[in-house]
Chain A
Amino acid sequence: MSAATETLVDYDEALDTYDPVLGFEVHVELNTKTKMFSSAPNAFGDEPNTNVNEVDLGLPGVLPVVNKSGVEYAILIGLALNCQIAETCGFARKNYFYPDTPKNFQTSQYDDPIAFDGYLDIELEDGEVFRVEIERAHMEEDAGKLTHMGGAAGRIQGADFSLVDYNRAGVPLVEIVTKPIVGAGKRAPELAKAYVAAIREIVKNLGVSDARMERGNVRCDANVSLMAKDATEFGTRTETKNVNSLRAVDHAVRFEISRQAGVLNAGNKVVQETRHWHEDTRTTTSGRPKSDADDYRYFPEPDLVPIVTTEAWIEELRSRLPEPPAERRKRLQADWGYADAEFRDVVNAGLVDAIEETIAAGASAAVARKWWMGEISRLAKNADVEPTELGATPATIIELNSLIEGKKINDKIARQVLEYVIAGEGSPSEIVDKRGLAVVNDDSALGAAIDDAMAEMPGVVEKIKGGKLQAVGALIGPVMKATRGQADAGRVREIVLEKLGVEG
């Protein structure tokens, strides 16, 4: 079916008629030092064909050897996804002919994945928790990188030839496959995005992947099908390949729901096929249908003997598991006493770690949040950098706060001092001294400024005398002006009341 004949159905309307069923295959590139079956370096961004050896090139007579860390990282991922770990499992050859693998097969796992039958609880934005069942997580290797040359703008259609770099060939991958996900309804795109985000976060937290989606460390194939509300069987699904950003996962699922609803409403059948995601138009287009070319003739890899896991090995790995990100967030929110919305903002700003460090360094939770979410975020936004890259540290915040609490500077001056810290002028105390920013605590100097202000505003003075204490505020402005902002407002108020003999 060509794009021209497709009618998209409004998303909400589609969901009134159909229930979406999702499924994900997420490939995670491990950050081992070497490849899965060879000792060539696993590194990103190097000159082409410099991180290859005879095994990666599939030269005759070579013998692959399994990377122990690759297996352990796969087990760690399995444990973090609440999976069973296979007592014994093996590798298989997935045969296909394409220049991205010089061996004409990909070493993978077939019917005995290292991890299976797990689940992951996904928390959506409003706190609703949705359980995604994990079918399996298996070990395999990445393919080389093809660059299509000639033709139109490097697209494969009309390309004259392709150039192949095998640096990525053999890089360890763990492919995580979900069971069909039903019941997400209108929240399907949101769940899809949250699921991939959770996988990314988990593998990053485990330290087994750099988890940078823009580098392809985490790649998602999204399966979508629709079933009529009263149906009992799943509809025909499509698999949209390489949806490689969180936003794209959301959009691709949303688009496929609208598109498939259009196909079904027109009385047609959804074609089981792979689809290509187009970031520019936020649409998918038909790839190729499932065919006998998908017959990969898997068979056991004769060069690799089985992996047998002992309970001791698994328990040793289990003891290495860090606190799961979702549980850590719950614990921190409770410890810090932030409201749900406050904490969500902190998470979305990527400042959980920074605030945790600041509190660990001695700041109160409120102070840490005030600075990171307030002035530091504001300055970072102006400078177009991440708040944590601005140059402010937990020590900066603690020092600024103690200067405020010691009445050495006020809040407004503190914000200025922060800017000077970021500009590299030194520590907050040094800056306060060097620039002479300390609050005027000298009561005689302050007293003179207050006398001047009271003389200029006799009406205000009468009001205060008459008991309208909030009128003091009118005097603070002129006093601040006279002291170049370095007066402590609280102290000004005290002195005024003292001078007028009014009880505060």
Chain B
Amino acid sequence: MSAISREDVVHLARLAHIEMNDAELDKMTGELAVIVDSIAAVSEAAGDDVPATSHPIPLQNVLREDVVGKTLTPEQALQNAPDADENRFKVPAILDGE
């Protein structure tokens, strides 16, 4: 039984600002379900004594001293920008949060 419904995919697509037609939504619902079910199998395999983890390598406190390093020039920063003006990235006007 899949944990991913078509409504979930519609919601996720909206959050991700991806436009999807009906056929794509159907296809993606099925494909995401396969992935989620596969991952669920891992949860079943892990016993109660295995804590949830987000980082497989036991590293901690990878910290950097507060010392200034190199930066890009504005020209370098903007070289892949679709559009630029006054050394700034030029983007379509978007209402906050939309």
Contacts and interface: CB of A to CB of B under 8 A. Distances in A.
B86 A33 contact: no
Contacts of A96: 97
Interface stretch (A42-50, A247-255, A324-332): A42-50
B89 to A, nearest CB: 4
B94 interface: yes
A41 B94 CA distance: 28
Interface stretch (B19-27, B29-37, B38-46, B58-66): B58-66
Contacts of A67: 63-64, 66
Interface string B40-78: 000000000000001101011111111111111110011
Name the residue among A166, A288, A293, A305 with the largest chain B CB count within 10 angstroms. A305
A165 B73 CA distance: 13
A40 B69 contact: yes
B64 A39 contact: yes
Interface stretch (A52-60, A387-395, A461-469, A473-481): A52-60
Contacts of A69: 65-66
A147 B97 contact: no
Contacts of A33: 66-68
Given A90-B54, A308-B60, A97 B68 contact: no
How many A residues touch the partner, as a band?
A: 35 or more
Contacts of B55: 90, 300, 302, 305-306
Contacts of B95: 156
A164 B92 CA distance: 11
Nearest to A32: B66
B68 A34 contact: yes
B77 A166 contact: yes
Which secondary structure dominates where chain B touches chain A? loop
A34 B71 contact: no
A40 B76 CA distance: 14
A71 interface: yes
B94 A53 contact: no
A54 B89 contact: no
A98 B94 contact: yes
Interface in A270-327: 287-288, 292-293, 295, 297, 299-300, 302, 304-308
B62 A39 contact: no
Nearest to B85: A163
B63 A53 contact: no
B94 A51 contact: no
Interface in A112-144: none
Given A156-B93, A163-B85, A292 B72 contact: no
Interface residues of B, number: 40
Nearest to B88: A163
B3 interface: no
A441 interface: no
A405 interface: no
A163 B59 contact: no
Given A54-B72, A151-B93, A156-B95, A49 B60 contact: no
A162 interface: yes
Contacts of B61: 305-308
Nearest to B89: A164
A158 to B, nearest CB: 8
A95 interface: yes
B95 to A, nearest CB: 6
Contacts of A164: 88-91
B89 A156 contact: no
B67 A34 contact: yes
A457 interface: no
A356 B65 CA distance: 35
A147 B90 CA distance: 10
A447 interface: no
A148 interface: yes
A97 B92 CA distance: 13
Contacts of A99: 89, 91, 94
A297 B12 CA distance: 9
B69 A293 contact: no
A43 to B, nearest CB: 9
A482 B95 CA distance: 76
A295 B72 contact: no
A502 interface: no
27 contacts: A38-B69, A39-B69, A40-B69, A51-B71, A52-B72, A65-B64, A68-B63, A68-B64, A90-B54, A147-B88, A156-B93, A156-B95, A162-B91, A162-B92, A163-B85, A163-B89, A165-B88, A288-B96, A292-B11, A292-B14, A293-B97, A300-B54, A300-B55, A306-B60, A306-B61, A307-B60, A308-B61
Interface of B: 11, 14-17, 54-55, 57, 59-74, 77-78, 85-98
Interface of A: 32-34, 38-41, 47-54, 57, 65-71, 88, 90, 95-99, 146-151, 156, 159-166, 287-288, 292-293, 295, 297, 299-300, 302, 304-308
